[in-house]
Structure 1
Amino acid sequence: MKLPRQVFLFLVSFFALINGWAQDKPNIVFILSDDAGYADFGFQGSKEFKTPELDKFAKNSVLFTQAYVSAAVCGPSRAGLLTGKYQQKFGFEENNVPGLMSKNGTTGDDMGLPLDQKTMADYLKEQGYKTAVFGKWHQGNADRFHPTKRGFDEFYGFRGGARSYMPYGTDNETKRDEDRLERGFGEYEEYEGYLTDGLADEAISFMERNQKNPFFIYLAFNAVHTPMEAKEEDLKKIQGLTGKRKTLAAMAIAMDKACGKVLNRIKELGLDENTLIVFTNDNGGPSDSNESSNNPLSGTKANHLEGGIRVPFLMSWPGKLKPNTVYNNPISTLDLLPTFVTAAGGNVSGIKDLDGVDLIPFLTENTTEKPHETLYWKKEARGAVRHNDWKLVRFPDRPAELYDIKEDISEVNDLATEHPEKVRELYKMLFNWELTLERPLWQLERRFEGKAAERMDTYRKHKS
């Protein structure tokens, strides 16, 4: 049946409007590295590690000098950034999944990101986005925690927290399902090459298939997390380094090249002018296990000194954010969800208990206001609070310590005895915040707390 001309023109205009509305929404590409050292990038000042692609990206980005994660280890850090909330609010304390003990008898694979929590992918799907995650999930191994049930249309990666960069053989009976590469839900498919390359290829394929629709990509590299496995061609490029540090530098080369492939393809597809891109890391580098460097910060992954919780952070959005600029106020990866959802046209004001903020106004408007005056961290008896430039670190095995972070980025001058009133003030703030939290849904064996303290003490900076 032939449509009347007026109806035909109305439908053409309507669909053109809808298409234009969709195209106005920025694509969002979020790249997360794993266990990288704070200092192990060229744009962070490294002379040993070569990261030319990310260095080039940094020149087109805003570089944040005081970016924090909400946890000093992988799983809870990701739970925080995926929800925009302190993960302790819903019982996902700084303990990776699966943990070893729980208050309700939950064990093993049944530990994961609680199902009553919506992810950034959930919210972006509501705004018409195609969504995908490639790489490490680490939010629960059970089927009900699967990425495709948490807002992501596509998934290629592994459910667990670490795996080989090389393909597993056909004898997969010896491998746990959470370590195997999975396409979609329940279809296991190994990448026949170096995994870092494969994850970049998957992200590019997704962009090519969805370039007419606004899309969200969460590219969660497992690089440079252990195991220490690098390509021979990259190892040959490393001069002056030995052992794990050499292998780490080669792994960083592969990740940098993979990032470059993705970033270059965005431009080749003509999407660069309408794509918001973020690169950051999930926690501080674990210097004892992969010889990463967090200089000039004290501490490492798994503790609340700056080396455990401060991370490299770059953000680019052409036409919105001024390139090659530096932002010096504290931010948090909790800010990613409200930033992304607001950029997509969503309204985050109704999200209960949201702790992150939309960063764009702080970068585009002439304001002296800070995104956060106060930030918190907690793992069982350990905790920390940063309020403006003062930071209190609470320990289970020694008195609390107080630092002026603006003047003492390396945390070598403990001012607790000089400012007992400030210790009391911040200690009370931390305690009052803890009163708002859920009890941890699971915990780890106590021996891991001892290891965290040992790692912290080993990698502290000292007065010269």
Structure 2
Amino acid sequence: MKKSIIYLLLTFIAVHLQAQKQPNIVFLFSDDAGYADFGFQGSKIMKTPNLDKLAKSGAKFTQGYVTDATCGPSRAGLITGKYQQRFGYEEINVPGYMSANSKFLADDMGLPLDQLTIADYLKKLGYKTAMYGKWHLGDADRYHPTKRGFDEFYGFRGGARSYFGYNDVSKANLDNRMERGFGNYQEPTKYVTDALANEAVSFIQKNKDNPFFIYLAFNAVHTPMQATAEDLKKFPNLYGKRKELAAMTLALDRACGKVINKLKELGLDKNTIIVFSNDNGGPTDKNASLNLPLSGTKSNHLEGGIRVPYLISWPKQIKSKTVYNYPVSTLDLLPTFYAAGGGKTEDLKDIDGVNLLPYINGENNARPHNTLFWKKEVRLAYREGDWKLIRFADRPAELYDLSTDTAELNNIAFKHPEKVKSMFKKMFDWESTLQRPLWMLKRSFENYDIDRMDRYRTPEKVKREMQQYTSPIKEKRQFEKDNK
């Protein structure tokens, strides 16, 4: 009897010690932020002291990519570790935007149930899991976060909502109601960005003795453009959307700081992996975000649509002030988290991401990815080394050398016809392995994406567009017009 008790006690201690060796994981994810709109990315306007400090504490990736230039597919790729086009999630899942002849519509649009998520994998390793904020991977109950590996959820199922609690939620906003757990709708009493951070802080407190994973997907700084009066006052020299964006970004940084400071308060910061990234390029026309020096915006395959801020901090394993210059992807988060948590990456079947830790720490000096793909209907971009080929529906393909032309100003396709031919063949080889899209956008939205790309095709065009926000007189008039 005594031997049995001693054996059980030793087993419990061993398991507990092993759990403490596993790092906690916190994934901070913003929405529609501009590549240039953070202090650590060079902004002199945005106030992001907490994220700037996070950037110095670990690794900053100068070529961090998402898997799509729009939010739904981008999230589907990162949460599964595989190209979302492989399981038919090529388009965003917003019912009103869909073509009537799509195979799946309305409640059928969501992350296929046969796809495992980061949370599914980490639960197998003993992690407590939580998701807070914007889900956007299916409105129907069967796609709910608590049915996709997450123990806790507070957020909304749709793609955008008010930053203040609804007094009366109409039927049109049902997918955007704030929900605690499953089916328990509870509107926040605080500004949503702050409310989400508070939920994460509470979860950390409750699970400080267990390894945990938090996916904190802010809707900031996605439209609607809404900020608190207090935050707006901190940018007296700005007007219009740019002022609102600055205030919303300040709230985002404050919320991230709350989470980071809680980890420090509990002594968990040294053994916690914190990742910060964004779901796609900033939509300059919608929220006055800046992607400079990159060309393009959200919804197109120029670098401004797919290259994003990307930070990883883990004081126990990653040196501070590390700068990593090879391309990485949000596809890599799943295998990186799984390996850090003690899982064997060889057990991860059929994924496209890689464990980044050996690359960050210099154990592997090769590129994590020599090839990367982005696809939306006919439009497709393919990166091979530093070569990038973009296929369009309405014009000849364009080729760029990103090692010398980050802004994609010098199309050299006509100089390298054999390279274009070779890359076209590889594009098709990859494309032929994909599943047909499960739903399709109305054609009018494809036109909109092309028009938006041309409008923000070069940094010069962006600077001219932004004059309405940088000229005090014009900004003030626009701000007053917007806030009548």
> C-alpha distance in 1, partners of 2:233/2:456?
29
> C-alpha distance in 2, partners of 1:334/1:415?
29
> How many residue pairs end up in the alignment?
460
Amino acid paired to 2:402: I
Which secondary structure state, in structure 1, belongs to the residue aligned with residue 235 of structure 2?
Answer: coil
CA contact (8 A) 1:73 1:96 kept: no
Matched, 1:156 2:154: yes
Q: TM-score, normalised by structure 1?
A: 0.97
| Residue among 58, 62, 81 paired with 1:61 | 58
Instruction: Give the superposition deviation at 1:172.
Output: 2.5
Matched, 1:401 2:365: no
Instruction: Give the superposition deviation at 1:361.
Output: 0.6
Instruction: Give the superposition deviation at 1:177.
Output: 1.8
1:332 is matched with 329
CA contact (8 A) 2:388 2:399 kept: yes
> C-alpha distance in 2, partners of 1:18/1:361?
26
Instruction: Give the superposition deviation at 1:174.
Output: 4.4
Matched, 1:121 2:103: no
Q: How does 1:312-323 map to 2 (within 5 A)?
A: 312-323=309-320
Matched, 1:166 2:164: yes
1:96 is matched with 93
2:176 is matched with 179
Instruction: Give the superposition deviation at 1:353.
Output: 2.3
Q: How does 1:68-79 map to 2 (within 5 A)?
A: 68-79=65-76
Matched, 1:242 2:278: no
CA contact (8 A) 2:80 2:115 kept: yes
2:477 is matched with none
2:479 is matched with none
> C-alpha distance in 1, partners of 2:2/2:103?
66
1:461 is matched with 458
State the percentage of identical aligned residues: 62
Amino acid paired to 2:105: T
1:426 is matched with 423
CA contact (8 A) 2:335 2:348 kept: no
> C-alpha distance in 2, partners of 1:463/1:161?
31
Cα RMSD, aligned residues only: 1.4
5+ residue gaps, structure 1: none
- Please list every run of at least 4 consecutive aligned residues from structure 1 whose deviation after the TM superposition is greater than 4 angstroms: none
2:229 is matched with 232
> C-alpha distance in 2, partners of 1:161/1:440?
20
> C-alpha distance in 2, partners of 1:22/1:114?
31
> C-alpha distance in 2, partners of 1:219/1:192?
19
> C-alpha distance in 2, partners of 1:348/1:379?
29
Which secondary structure state, in structure 1, belongs to the residue aligned with residue 119 of structure 2?
Answer: helix
| Residue among 107, 130, 133 paired with 1:132 | 130
Give the structure with the higher percent helix. 2
**Partner deviation per Cα, 1:140-191 (whole Å, 9 max, x = no partner):** 100000000000000000000000000000x224452211000000000011
Q: TM-score, normalised by structure 2?
A: 0.93
Instruction: Give the superposition deviation at 1:14.
Output: 1.2
Which secondary structure state, in structure 1, belongs to the residue aligned with residue 414 of structure 2?
Answer: coil
> C-alpha distance in 1, partners of 2:122/2:460?
47
> C-alpha distance in 1, partners of 2:99/2:435?
16
> C-alpha distance in 2, partners of 1:224/1:23?
35
5+ residue gaps, structure 2: 462-484
> C-alpha distance in 2, partners of 1:436/1:105?
19
1:390 is matched with 387
Instruction: Give the superposition deviation at 1:428.
Output: 1.2
Instruction: Give the superposition deviation at 1:365.
Output: 3.0
2:464 is matched with none
> C-alpha distance in 1, partners of 2:8/2:339?
29
Matched, 1:380 2:377: yes
> C-alpha distance in 1, partners of 2:76/2:93?
10
**Partner deviation per Cα, 1:227-270 (whole Å, 9 max, x = no partner):** 00001111111143211011000000000000001001001011
